[in-house]
């Protein structure tokens, strides 16, 4: 597995990371613990050194899972986690966000224990808090870095103004936001800004929440607890309308004797040398398939063909329901 540096900083990780959220929440029932630990450890053995979690995944359960799974490999891996959503005293998910400096520091202490580490490699603000100045958020993380409890500061789903304000106080190592052939909006403003400031980009949902794999169509039924049930872009009508983007990657994949998922990941990796996608999975065969995306090389002609065809596709449906849409891009 090749490695990449996230922007101008010293954080060097595998070209593909592993998003661990789906092992505990979001896409149906949580996976069986021993099976999920096996997938995480298989990722390490196949060269993945970058693992993504958050206190809200579960809540808490995913950090505990990742901490246990990676304990034997601590010196070989980097773990990213996140703060900023409200969690009740018994681990219940509450509405709203909370990035008060005192709360950030409380979350850091709790995450360190759950992850079984002495320092958090990358600590993201999960969503911008409109009630807390970004300077105060960055300042709190800066203090955690100075105290040796955090190594790098990140933002998730932040807008350009928030990124600039945070970066002026504490250099931002990485931005985590959605980016794929299923969602190319970051190309307009965010990617040029990250390049200007020397910030790495960690795309989540690089396979379009599974849509780009070609395994989902208008007739697919999701588990009752699957987040995609409330995502407008995953309504049956939107899935049918958005099929051309799947047909695009499938056509390229067939020619290259690859899978659609591998083409989608290879396309992302080809965009910038400081982009590190974090596809998630609960299944070892899918993990191994995704790894093939890191070794698939798309030619300039391939990339031009994909861009030209993708530019002609107008995707249908918002990527979040309205109440969550309000939390992004601020």
Burial of 284 (0-12, 13-18, 19+ CB in 10 A): middle
**Which residues, 6 or more positions from 175, have their beta carbon under 8 angstroms from its beta carbon?**
154, 155, 156, 158, 163, 190, 194, 199, 200, 201, 202
Alpha carbon separation from 149 to 12, 144, 220, 306 (Å, rounded) = 18, 5, 44, 43
Are residues 143 and 114 in contact, defined by beta-carbon separation less than 8 angstroms?
no
- Average pLDDT over every residue of 259-279: 98
What pTM did the predictor assign? 0.97
- The values of phi and psi at residue 274, to 5°, are -110, 20
Count other Cβ atoms within 10 Å, centred on residue 12.
12
* Per-residue model confidence as pLDDT tens digits over 71-81: 999 999 999 99
Quick one: CA dihedral 28, 30, 35, 36, positive or negative? Answer: positive
> Residue 320's pLDDT is what?
93
Catalytic one among 27, 57, 124, 179?
Answer: 57
Rounded Cα distance between 293 and 289, Å, is 7
Alpha carbon separation from 4 to 71, 77, 178, 272, 276 (Å, rounded) = 23, 13, 19, 10, 7
Nearest to 140 by CA among 178, 71, 213, 83: 83
- Average pLDDT over every residue of 31-60: 98
Residue 310 in this model has a pLDDT that exceeds 90: yes
Count other Cβ atoms within 10 Å, centred on residue 113.
11
Rounded Cα distance between 277 and 134, Å, is 25
- Average pLDDT over every residue of 228-252: 97
Pair type for strands 172-178 and 93-97 = unpaired
Residue 299 in this model has a pLDDT that exceeds 90: yes
Count other Cβ atoms within 10 Å, centred on residue 8.
13
- Average pLDDT over every residue of 108-116: 98
* Per-residue model confidence as pLDDT tens digits over 23-40: 999 999 999 999 999 999
Are residues 148 and 119 in contact, defined by beta-carbon separation less than 8 angstroms?
yes
- Average pLDDT over every residue of 265-282: 98
Report the mean per-residue pLDDT for the chain.
97
- Average pLDDT over every residue of 65-70: 98
Taking phi over 0 as left and psi of -120 to 50 as alpha, with beta for the rest, 321 belongs to beta
Domains of the chain as residue ranges with CATH: 3-325 (3.20.20.100)
Q: Which helix (H) or strand (E) holds 87?
A: strand 85-87
Nearest to 243 by CA among 314, 308, 293: 314
Rounded Cα distance between 68 and 55, Å, is 15
Cα within 13 Å of Cα(133), Cβ side: 6
Check if 124 is active-site. no
Residue 263 in this model has a pLDDT that exceeds 90: yes
Provide the pLDDT confidence category of residue 87 given band limits of 50, 70 and 90: very high
> Residue 323's pLDDT is what?
87
Rounded Cα distance between 311 and 34, Å, is 43
């Amino acid at each position: 597995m090749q490695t990449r540096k996230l922007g101008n900083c010293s954080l060097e990780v595998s070209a593909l990371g592993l998003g661990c959220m789906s092992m505990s929440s979001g896409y149906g029932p949580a996976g069986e613990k021993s099976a999920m630990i096996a997938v995480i450890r298989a990722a390490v053995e196949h060269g993945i050194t970058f693992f993504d979690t958050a206190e809200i995944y579960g809540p808490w359960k995913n950090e505990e899972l990742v901490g246990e799974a990676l304990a034997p490999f601590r010196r070989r891996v980097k773990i990213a986690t996140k703060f900023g959503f409200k969690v009740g005293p018994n681990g219940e998910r509450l509405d709203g966000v909370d990035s008060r400096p005192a709360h950030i520091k409380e979350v850091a202490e709790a995450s360190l224990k759950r992850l079984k580490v002495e320092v958090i490699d990358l600590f993201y603000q999960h969503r911008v808090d409109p009630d807390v100045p970004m300077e105060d958020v960055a300042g709190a993380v800066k203090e955690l870095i100075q105290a040796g409890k955090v190594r790098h500061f990140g933002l998730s789903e932040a807008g350009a103004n928030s990124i600039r304000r945070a970066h002026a106080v504490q250099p931002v190592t990485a931005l985590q936001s959605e980016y794929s052939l299923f969602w190319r909006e970051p190309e307009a403003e965010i990617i040029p800004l990250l390049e200007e400031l020397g910030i790495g980009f960690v795309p989540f949902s690089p396979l379009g929440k599974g849509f780009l794999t070609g395994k989902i169509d208008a007739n697919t039924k999701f588990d009752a607890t699957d987040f995609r049930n409330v995502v407008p872009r995953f309504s049956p009508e939107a899935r049918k309308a958005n099929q051309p983007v799947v047909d695009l990657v499938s056509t390229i994949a067939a020619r290259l004797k690859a899978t659609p998922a591998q083409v989608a990941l290879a396309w992302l990796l080809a965009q910038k040398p400081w982009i590190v996608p974090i596809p998630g999975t609960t299944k070892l065969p899918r993990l191994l398939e995704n790894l093939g995306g890191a070794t698939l090389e798309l030619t300039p002609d391939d990339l031009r063909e994909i861009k030209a065809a993708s530019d002609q596709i107008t995707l249908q449906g918002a990527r979040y329901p309205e109440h969550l849409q309000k939390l992004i891009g601020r």
